[in-house]
Amino acid sequence: MIFHTFPIKGPLRIEFEPRHDERGYFMRTFCARELKDQTIEFRITQINRSRTARRGTLRGMHFQKEPHAEAKIISCLQGKIYDVLVDLREESPTYRKWVSMELAAEKNIALYIPAGFAHGFETLEEECEVEYLMSEFYHPESSSGVRWNDPLLDIVWPITSPTLSDRDANWPLLV
């Protein structure tokens, strides 16, 4: 696994290293030891998967509040998505800044998102499947989000009129 940083401290792009032969390939997609070498202690408590049928669907921007803040490792297993994370760590010099990247099944990459970040994605193709390795159990009372089109964040989305759930369309604006 090869780790790449972002302008915002904390998140990492994880590049997998498939080993190919005549049968296909084999690759490691999680290694606690390699994450620890990056100073990341990540204990998987849940593995979640979403399937989205339509291009232009936006899921986000989600996070869990303390004391159940969660880190995530996101992989796109089918299709292609535009993934966005927003730094919500008030003490961070990049507070309220965002970064994005494209995840696609054929790219063999994942995204590590530390606790303290909101996360969301927009589907760029039909039939997308996304897998989430979670560091914390789901706690409905800690579940929260921020508005995908909050003018304070000014996130640039590739599809400007996405399909949204009522919940995602009505997260509060940051003040």
| Both structure tokens of 60 | 């986000």
Q: Strand 98-104 to strand 80-87: parallel, antiparallel, or no bridges (unpaired)?
A: antiparallel
The answer to whether residue 132 is catalytic is yes
Catalytic choice (20, 62, 82, 95): 62
Rg of the chain over all Cα atoms, to the nearest angstrom? 16
The answer to whether residue 62 is catalytic is yes
Classify 148 as helix, strand or coil. coil
Catalytic choice (20, 82, 132, 139): 132
| Both structure tokens of 138 | 């789901």
The residue assigned the tokens 């509040």 is: 65
The residue assigned the tokens 């996070």 is: 63
Positions marked active-site: 62, 132
